[in-house]
Every structure is written in structure tokens, then in C-alpha cells.
């Protein structure tokens, strides 16, 4: 009985001893991670154009478009917002790729944007058209086909 107890204690100690070097090996990796993240943090600071790292969603009616300046304005309840379209902006209309020329006044738009350090709003994604129409069209046909195929089998 005592021998079994001694073996169990030795086994536990040996297990802990083997785990210690593994956690010690992961320690240097964790310390090198912050230096890498410090570089990533320094990188947006080096590019003064970016302030926020996560895009902010928007939705509304387009009230004005300036094709020359590549901007469009969304009217809000309290204030209007002007969004800048860049080469990195992804524009789509009815699920297909679109361009700045496809953005027109009195059209519903949604998407996301970044707020730059200088206060300008840079559009990341722009989806033209009503929010519900594209989503409903995409969801109804697949839902309808299984129901129709299931009805004759019943």
C-alpha cells in the first residue's frame, strides 16, 4: 500500500516536473509576442491616416454624391456623414461588384467604414440597395425548394 502511494506521488511530481519546462518554453514566446504587437501598434501610428482598427457599420439613404471627390453623403437622424471611396473600398450592388459610378442619390446603402485620424470617414464596404431585398431573395428560394420537394414525398 505504501509503495503504491509512493509511486503515485513520484508519478505526480514527475508529471509536474515535465510540465514545468513546457511552460517555461512558452514564456519566451509570450514575451516576444508583445514586441510583435508593439510593432503592429506602431505601424498604424506610423500611418497617420488610420485611427480605428475595427470598421464601424452604417446604413441609410444616400443624399449626395460627388464623383470627382469620390465621396457620398448618408443622411442621418442627427447629422449627415460624408464617406470617402478609395481603392480599398469594396462596392457591391445586388450581390455583384460595382464601382463609384453606380452610387447614386436617393438610394439605400449600408456597409462599414474606418474613421481616420483627420476625422474623415473612409468606406471599407458599400452595399447598394435595400438591406432586406437582397437577403430575402437569397434566403427564400433555398427554403422554398426543400419544402416543395418534401411535400410530394409526404
pLDDT tens-digit map of 109-124: 999 999 999 999 999 9
Mean pLDDT of the chain: 74
User: Is the per-residue pLDDT at 17 higher than 90?
Assistant: no
pLDDT tier at 152, thresholds 50, 70, 90: low
User: Is the per-residue pLDDT at 44 higher than 50?
Assistant: no
From residue 50, give the alpha-carbon distance in Å to each of 76, 100, 122: 24, 22, 9
User: Is the per-residue pLDDT at 139 higher than 90?
Assistant: no
When pLDDT is averaged across residues 68-90 and rounded to a whole number, the result is: 92
Secondary structure of residue 138 in the 3-state scheme: helix
Domains of the chain: 56-133 (2.40.50.320)
From residue 62, give the alpha-carbon distance in Å to each of 71, 111, 126, 132, 137: 11, 12, 11, 17, 23
Question: What is the pLDDT, as a whole number, of residue 52?
Answer: 59
What whole-number distance in Å separates Cα of residue 94 and Cα of residue 128?
7
Question: What is the pLDDT, as a whole number, of residue 48?
Answer: 46
Question: What is the pLDDT, as a whole number, of residue 96?
Answer: 93
Amino acid at each position: 500500500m505504501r509503495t503504491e502511494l509512493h509511486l503515485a506521488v513520484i508519478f505526480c511530481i514527475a508529471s509536474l516536473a515535465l510540465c514545468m519546462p513546457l511552460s517555461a518554453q512558452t514564456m519566451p514566446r509570450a514575451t516576444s509576442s508583445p514586441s510583435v504587437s508593439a510593432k503592429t501598434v506602431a505601424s498604424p501610428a506610423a500611418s497617420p491616416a488610420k485611427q480605428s482598427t475595427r470598421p464601424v457599420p452604417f446604413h441609410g439613404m444616400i443624399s449626395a454624391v460627388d464623383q470627382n471627390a469620390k465621396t457620398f453623403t448618408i443622411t442621418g437622424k442627427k447629422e449627415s456623414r460624408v464617406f470617402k471611396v478609395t481603392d480599398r473600398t469594396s462596392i457591391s450592388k445586388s450581390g455583384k461588384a460595382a464601382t463609384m459610378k453606380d452610387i447614386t442619390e436617393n438610394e439605400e446603402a449600408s456597409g462599414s467604414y474606418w474613421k481616420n485620424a483627420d476625422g474623415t470617414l473612409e468606406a471599407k464596404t458599400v452595399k447598394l440597395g435595400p438591406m432586406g431585398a437582397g437577403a430575402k431573395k437569397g434566403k427564400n428560394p433555398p427554403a422554398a425548394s426543400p419544402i416543395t420537394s418534401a411535400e410530394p414525398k409526404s
